Structure 1
Amino acid sequence: MDLFEIGMDSPLGKLRLIAHDQALVAVCWPDDNISMFAKQLFTVQEDHPILSLARHQLNEYFHKKRQYFDIPIDFVGGTPFQQAVWRALMHIPFATTWSYSDVASYLNNPLAIRAIGGTIGKNPLSIVIPCHRVIGKNGKLTGFAGGLNRKKYLLEIENIRIDV
């Protein structure tokens, strides 16, 4: 599978967007370790239609002009469990938060909270798949691959105020 990438300046630093011919497969933070693609070579292609669409929609989101993404996505390399968790995150409405136990309840798997937490931390499509909307049961911010300050910023875009 050929993979293509572009860089994108954002209010949270430079993002890397990665896609194949049909779908977006990753939105990476500047310091992300994208181990699932460790053996892949990327072709920089600024005019790639999926990457251009992703960059456009992310810019709209950052400027509070978009609440949902309609970019074709593909969970490359995720297990069936991981894919189920990531799909569940897509059901968290804009400007709403869920706890990890809410995600477990949604999946009808209340004993999998730890596994769900670990899977959320491996979300390859940060922002597009809104893992930033998952917080601790106590209402506090919890781990985020991009860092808690970025998570707080993303929630503030959605008018959710939570202290770090």
Structure 2
Amino acid sequence: MTGTDTSTEAPWDLSFLRVGALVSAALTAVAAPVAGLLAGWDDAAGVLVGALVVTAFFVVSGVVVAWAGRVNDAFTLPAALGAFFVKALVLFAVLNALPEEGWLDRLTLAWTVIVGALLWSAVQLRWVWTRPLYYVQPPAPPVARTDSPVGVDPDGPAERG
């Protein structure tokens, strides 16, 4: 590695995506039918779409940031901000394209996105807090020396008796 090369050789761990997707799917499997029974099936559709949107957003962000980190560590922040900007534009366009009175409830969709983002944030926080993450590459462990200077016993001084 040269002095100006800031690419990382360590793989970027995206295992939080699996955990977040499973937790999101489990909660959606409970919340959608409950919303459907209590508020109507357009609300259940809002829960389903909201959960899919949040999951897709976190997956896209994770993959983009990991890709940028593999290229060069300095690219991760611009990649994260760029991905967020593009996703916000896409979400804005999609929400504006939805009719006010349609097959899903937009208010339920909005609340699902808020709750889902908080849920995914909690999953990421727990993932970070329970993993050994290093700011710099840890040094290699020391290697045991097998050679010793001439005339020196590697086991130490001999006892005389």
Length-normalised TM-score, structure 2: 0.29
Higher relative contact order (CA 8 A, sep 6+): 2
Larger C-alpha radius of gyration, 1 or 2?
Answer: 2
When you count helix as a share of all residues, which structure comes out higher? 2
When you count strand as a share of all residues, which structure comes out higher? 1
